[in-house]
Structure 1
Amino acid sequence: MVQAAIADVTARIRERSRPSRVAYLGRVEAMRGSGPRRGALGCANLAHGFAACAADEKHHLRTGIVANLAIVTAYNDMLSAHQPYERFPAIIKQAAREVGGVAQVAGGVPAMCDGITQGRPGMELSLFSRDVIAMAAAIALSHDMFDAAVFLGICDKIVPGLVIAAQAFGHLPAVFIPAGPMPSGLPNQEKSKIRQLHAEGKAGREDLLNAEAASYHSPGTCTFYGTANSNQMLMEVMGLHLPGSAFVNPNTPLRDALTAAAAQRALAITAFGNEYTPIAAVLDERAFVNGIVALHATGGSTNHVIHLVAMARAGGIVLTLDDFADLSKVVPLLTRIYPNGTADVNHFTAAGGTGFLIASLLHAGLVHPDARTVAGHDLEYYAQEPYLDDGKLAFRPSPPASLDDSVLRGVAKPFSRDGGLKVLEGNLGRAVIKLSAVAPEHRRVRAPARIFHAQEDLEAAYRAGELDTDFVAVVRFQGPRAIGMPELHKLTPVLASVMARGHQVALVTDGRMSGASGKVPAAIHVTPEALDGGPLARIHDGDMIALDAEAGILTVELSPETLHSRSPAEYNLEAHWHGYGRELFEMFRANASGPELGAGVCG
């Protein structure tokens, strides 16, 4: 039985979404009614579609008697998280043959890494890449050759973009296949320490590079709990993975077995069989509430306050910041994974992983147990972990108790009674803050504003010795319509260094922080953004700002008359609109919605 507070939020989402959800499901049903579409293709169209296939596959596809599985992949070999996908199409194709199906790589989508583009012009394309990925995946599926799809994606914008595209083809079953995290390297806490020392000029570039290379050292996802690993947790709790598959290391027999099983499961749930499970039937209001609950319970990435909204809207479901805020009040924090602890996702898995987490949330009535999944069972089936039994994939119950309660706990003894994310409101607008890594003594800050229009300006002020004081850094004109809402994670070591000297410090911005938002209190995604005349554009140096994360307050201590009488600041953004491909995204900047609507152009 789900708790009343969870049921209430779900009910209001369902009611609010009814018109758009009914319209979406109507479109899905119309697409489904046409059945497998290869039979409707002209001879030349169909011949083009199977020209590169093996002879037996050509026979099957031309007669239309077997299911054809689309592989949509974000493979590239520059990004450690996506390099393992090089091997996956061969595994998937072989798995499809074993059950009498066919699999084709339908198309690729771009995959960029915020870790590489941090503080660089490319970061200004990062958020918009989600919508590009959605469009690219839609093109891959547009050939009308497929009965189901598997999606290969890991990192920040890639999974949300793929989910948006999958729902555009909501009549097709869709299974998401992760590649897994790299083995643990240099502990994240050590890496963070070196970063802060480098910001203070106490460690050289060689020291910093050695630390980073020892942390990011092999194929696989980065091991801290940022947006990439939050993605994988969400896909599992929302029923789009096979149970326990999120955090199995790449290039291992278990990883390969899960990949093959996921492909075969996708073929088993097409309209050809008796278990037809389109993605539109999996991603309903219950799935999204389950995802938000798990995000709070794990102190997940702040980016998902944007991404989940966009993903939901793609299926006609309307989420608001109030939904996140109200769920946060009743969901306890059950994990300590870096940056809100010292452990990484491998330690989390060893302690009990997603199986134990899901079991704990189910036992407490915090998630909907009857939510549908691609596995053909309800969510209780996901309170398991995979293993190999004489080389064959099998599942067993997750541990009945956490194997390391410094990393993972049950609901009876949480790290915090409420969730890791909170919504702030006040005369500066609305914002989001990640609390799970912020110490209680730093959750209330009252200090004068220091205004910056670029993170480089803040870094320069720090190097010049101008920030050895209490202050709230207001970094504005960073929103989606201004410069694409880049992450400002590069500022964390600088602000953490000032805070370590005993000063009150906070960040307020209409940009984003990383999924690895850390110990500095940061009010992010401030909306309306400064470029749209939001209150941030009227703040002056020295204005007193109060950020109270516990009470959910973000204000500037000015009378309404004074605040609204000021003319909005102006900032020449021309330099941000050209070079590094940024000129190609003018349409995105001009048409981007605000963060509360998903900060994109799709939907």
Structure 2
Amino acid sequence: MSTPIEIHPVVAAVTERVVARSAATRAAYVERNRAAAQAGPARTRLACANLAHGFAAAEPADKEALRGTVKPNLAIVTSYNDMLSAHQPFETYPRQLKKAVIRAGGIAQVAGGVPAMCDGITQGRAGMQLSLHSRDVIAMSTAIGLSHDMFDAAMMLGVCDKIVPGLLIGALSFGHLPTVFVPAGPMASGLGNKEKAAVRQRYAEGLATREELLEAEAASYHSAGTCTFYGTANSNQLLMEVLGLHLPGASFPNPGTPLRSALTDAAAARVTAIARGAAEPAAIGDVVDERSLVNACVALLASGGSTNHTLHLVAIARAAGVDLTWDDLSELSAVVPSLCRIYPNGSADVNHFQAAGGMPFLVRTLLDAGLLHEDVQTVAGPGLRRYTEEPRLLEDGTVTWVEGPTESLDHDVLRPATDPFAPDGGLRVLDGPLGRAVIKTSAVAGEHRVVTAPAVVFEDQADLLAAFERHELDGRDLVAVVRHQGPAANGMPELHKLTPALGVLQDRGQKVAIVTDGRMSGASGKVPAAIHVTPEAALGGPLARIVDGDVVTVDAVAGTLTVADPDTVLARPAAQRPEAASDLAGTGRELFAMFRGTVGPADAGASVFPFPAAQEAPVAQHV
């Protein structure tokens, strides 16, 4: 028997603090799930009229099964639409999953659908102001689908930015149910990320036409499947696997392949077996606990994942009764090495990562370094070591698992923990008189990690881009302060469109940084970006008191966000949002006024849900 690997002392200490901090809320959550599980399948207690409504449209054999409790009934919650490449493959999944569940001894029903929007389409548009809030809408939609009390287990179909966190938050409100996430996989590689980024930057400088830009984008995003850069969507897939909610190796096989189809069948069979009592129990509320959430943080940091998960992981944790903080992430980042170079942190895409060893190797090297908790529950069975295996097709079209690679096949993309790209995880929390922020440094060169320069203040990203086009930002160092972009102001949109323009200025030799209460997501790249600043400007935070010319320092080395003469700056009255920006109507934004009025701060997950661990946080933001 192999000797257990000792967990890294910092990982152990962070986990112990999370457990202690969450003792009361986690205990209440676990007790609620225990009571729901003991009550058994709720459909057995439904009145006859209620139950008849629940199976009215079912096939005769399914009706007979649903009348009793002989077979488990599995819910399918889907984010299918055929406009978005990542979700288009889900069109055929319900029929396939139902057949696989029947073969495994159960039955399945589509419990509901959830909205799935694309930040890539809404980038820079009014629709982006609905994006972050859509996560909580998705969570509520998931809960509505499961609320019919007809189900013994669940399958969640989702991939992209807010969809997977929303599905997970909703599923955790039914924490007694065994639940598996069923991914669709990334599209095949198209135009390389380095080439695509170069065309974007040339277009920002006026050196490429719109036709050239569109051709490059279409060659990059070209088929069904997830976009291949390592943004929030692919970070979601990696985290679901490390959390133990995917089957091992399920995250990154491409759509439309025999292996992807076999993994979909296997996911249905596995969760059916759990629901029937023929496999180890793995209710989602037990799988997602303090240790597995710390594992998710470690994997996010080691892989250079999306900064959006500094919001989502906190919100997910609170849904499971766990109080996870930015400080936990920052402390872990100091000891978790950077092991991946996937765009925007490198030139490779997720298909290259998969070919280099992918999830099996990443999990293996982190386990062997004592950076992941091995003793966790997963849908594949007890212990995370199962996720060092990779799936293989058998001749009959089914899937089996074999030992995964013990070495990386491309050290330019994926490295062992003993030979990392960097000794830390490339994520810092910044503190100072301007508030708290996060900064992703994994793609920022060392010479750009400390910037001190006069502020140039903007109330909207369009204003910054207009100033760039008028050459007003040329030839000078600057810290672009883009404020009134927080969750209470306008839904905290991503500001991707600023990256090429700021990159141009930096390439010209100017010292450049951005400070914002908005988001940058997977687009956080070579320009230092202090994002998610809280308290946000719309609620009177310090950013509302900055004026042009104030000397601001973004220091990703020391972990500070400061301004010269802070006493003078903070004594000023807070600048109000321009009247036009305050009139958030059109494109559905008026429907989300309630969300903007009740949302909590970024460091509490920017959620509208009053989970117990977050009760005091929204009050603290209203300064």
Query: What is the TM-score when the length of structure 1 is the normalising length?
Result: 0.99
Aligned to 1:197: 202
Distance (whole Å) between structure 2 residues aligned to residue 176 and residue 138 of structure 1? 15
Aligned to 1:495: 502
Distance (whole Å) between structure 2 residues aligned to residue 397 and residue 466 of structure 1? 57
Distance (whole Å) between structure 2 residues aligned to residue 333 and residue 362 of structure 1? 15
Distance (whole Å) between structure 2 residues aligned to residue 71 and residue 269 of structure 1? 16
Give CA deviations for 1:406-452 in whole Å, capped at 9, x if unaligned: 00000111000000211111111110011111111111111100000
Moved more, 37-46 or 125-134: 37-46
Tell me whether 1:338 sits opposite 2:343 in the alignment.
Answer: yes
Tell me whether 1:543 sits opposite 2:543 in the alignment.
Answer: no
Q: Which amino acid aligns with 1:536?
A: L
Q: Which amino acid aligns with 2:483?
A: R
- Determine if contact 2:71/2:276 at 8 Å carries over to the other structure: no
Q: Which amino acid aligns with 2:446?
A: P
Compute the RMSD of aligned alpha carbons: 1.0
- Determine if contact 2:308/2:522 at 8 Å carries over to the other structure: yes
- Counterparts of 1:366-405 in structure 2, within 5 Å, are 366-390=371-395, 391-405=397-411
1:273 deviates by 4.4
Aligned to 2:235: 230
Aligned to 1:443: 449
- The 3-state SS of whatever aligns with 1:481 is helix
Give CA deviations for 1:131-177 in whole Å, capped at 9, x if unaligned: 00000010000000000000000000000001100110001011001
1:574 deviates by 4.9
- The 3-state SS of whatever aligns with 1:578 is coil
Q: Which amino acid aligns with 2:432?
A: G
1:63 deviates by 1.6
Tell me whether 1:126 sits opposite 2:131 in the alignment.
Answer: yes
Aligned to 2:420: 414
Distance (whole Å) between structure 1 residues aligned to residue 137 and residue 110 of structure 2? 19
1:573 deviates by 5.0
Aligned to 2:607: 600
1:34 deviates by 1.1
1:517 deviates by 1.5
Aligned to 1:182: 187
- Determine if contact 1:309/1:598 at 8 Å carries over to the other structure: yes
2:430 to 424, 428, 431: 424
1:506 to 500, 509, 513: 513
Distance (whole Å) between structure 1 residues aligned to residue 226 and residue 68 of structure 2? 41
- Counterparts of 1:37-76 in structure 2, within 5 Å, are 37-76=42-81
- The 3-state SS of whatever aligns with 2:181 is strand
1:3 to 8, 12, 16: 8
Distance (whole Å) between structure 2 residues aligned to residue 399 and residue 559 of structure 1? 53
Distance (whole Å) between structure 1 residues aligned to residue 186 and residue 241 of structure 2? 15
2:271 to 266, 275, 280: 266
- The 3-state SS of whatever aligns with 1:430 is strand
1:272 deviates by 4.5
Distance (whole Å) between structure 2 residues aligned to residue 334 and residue 272 of structure 1? 38
Aligned to 2:27: 22
Distance (whole Å) between structure 2 residues aligned to residue 227 and residue 329 of structure 1? 22
Structure 1 stretches lacking a partner, 5+ long: none
- Determine if contact 2:186/2:253 at 8 Å carries over to the other structure: yes
Q: Which amino acid aligns with 2:248?
A: P
1:533 deviates by 1.1
1:27 deviates by 1.2
Aligned to 1:249: 254
Aligned to 2:149: 144
Aligned to 1:107: 112
- The 3-state SS of whatever aligns with 2:520 is coil
- The 3-state SS of whatever aligns with 2:530 is strand
- Determine if contact 1:447/1:504 at 8 Å carries over to the other structure: yes
Distance (whole Å) between structure 1 residues aligned to residue 227 and residue 140 of structure 2? 26
Distance (whole Å) between structure 2 residues aligned to residue 72 and residue 573 of structure 1? 40
- Counterparts of 1:153-172 in structure 2, within 5 Å, are 153-172=158-177
Moved more, 46-55 or 565-574: 565-574
Distance (whole Å) between structure 1 residues aligned to residue 240 and residue 17 of structure 2? 23
Q: Which amino acid aligns with 2:339?
A: L
Moved more, 562-571 or 154-163: 562-571
- Counterparts of 1:460-471 in structure 2, within 5 Å, are 460-468=466-474, 469-471=476-478
- Determine if contact 1:227/1:516 at 8 Å carries over to the other structure: no
- Determine if contact 2:433/2:566 at 8 Å carries over to the other structure: no
- Determine if contact 1:482/1:573 at 8 Å carries over to the other structure: no
Structure 2 stretches lacking a partner, 5+ long: 1-5, 612-623
Give CA deviations for 1:540-586 in whole Å, capped at 9, x if unaligned: 100111111111111111142x1222111111355451000000001
Distance (whole Å) between structure 1 residues aligned to residue 430 and residue 63 of structure 2? 57
Distance (whole Å) between structure 2 residues aligned to residue 105 and residue 420 of structure 1? 41
Tell me whether 1:298 sits opposite 2:296 in the alignment.
Answer: no
Aligned to 2:615: none
Distance (whole Å) between structure 1 residues aligned to residue 389 and residue 525 of structure 2? 31
Distance (whole Å) between structure 2 residues aligned to residue 86 and residue 547 of structure 1? 46
Q: Which amino acid aligns with 2:532?
A: H
Q: Which amino acid aligns with 2:64?
A: H
Distance (whole Å) between structure 2 residues aligned to residue 14 and residue 464 of structure 1? 53
- The 3-state SS of whatever aligns with 1:156 is coil
- The 3-state SS of whatever aligns with 2:246 is coil
- The 3-state SS of whatever aligns with 2:32 is helix
- The 3-state SS of whatever aligns with 2:502 is helix
Aligned to 1:308: 313
Give CA deviations for 1:371-417 in whole Å, capped at 9, x if unaligned: 11010131001011111121220111121110000000001110000
1:531 deviates by 1.1
- The 3-state SS of whatever aligns with 1:373 is coil
- Determine if contact 1:424/1:552 at 8 Å carries over to the other structure: yes
Give CA deviations for 1:487-538 in whole Å, capped at 9, x if unaligned: 0011000100111100000000000002231111100000100011111111
1:326 to 322, 331, 344: 331
1:275 deviates by 2.6
Q: Which amino acid aligns with 2:63?
A: K
- The 3-state SS of whatever aligns with 1:515 is helix
Q: Which amino acid aligns with 2:520?
A: M
1:195 deviates by 0.4
Distance (whole Å) between structure 2 residues aligned to residue 377 and residue 324 of structure 1? 25
- Determine if contact 2:516/2:530 at 8 Å carries over to the other structure: yes
Aligned to 1:92: 97
- Determine if contact 1:449/1:541 at 8 Å carries over to the other structure: yes
Tell me whether 1:564 sits opposite 2:570 in the alignment.
Answer: yes
1:477 to 474, 484, 487: 484
Q: Which amino acid aligns with 1:472?
A: V
Distance (whole Å) between structure 1 residues aligned to residue 463 and residue 223 of structure 2? 34
Distance (whole Å) between structure 1 residues aligned to residue 282 and residue 330 of structure 2? 31
- Determine if contact 2:168/2:316 at 8 Å carries over to the other structure: yes
1:33 deviates by 1.8
Distance (whole Å) between structure 1 residues aligned to residue 488 and residue 559 of structure 2? 26
Distance (whole Å) between structure 2 residues aligned to residue 201 and residue 247 of structure 1? 36
Aligned to 2:561: 554
Moved more, 374-383 or 358-367: 374-383
- Determine if contact 1:225/1:516 at 8 Å carries over to the other structure: no
- Determine if contact 1:155/1:229 at 8 Å carries over to the other structure: yes
Aligned to 2:614: none
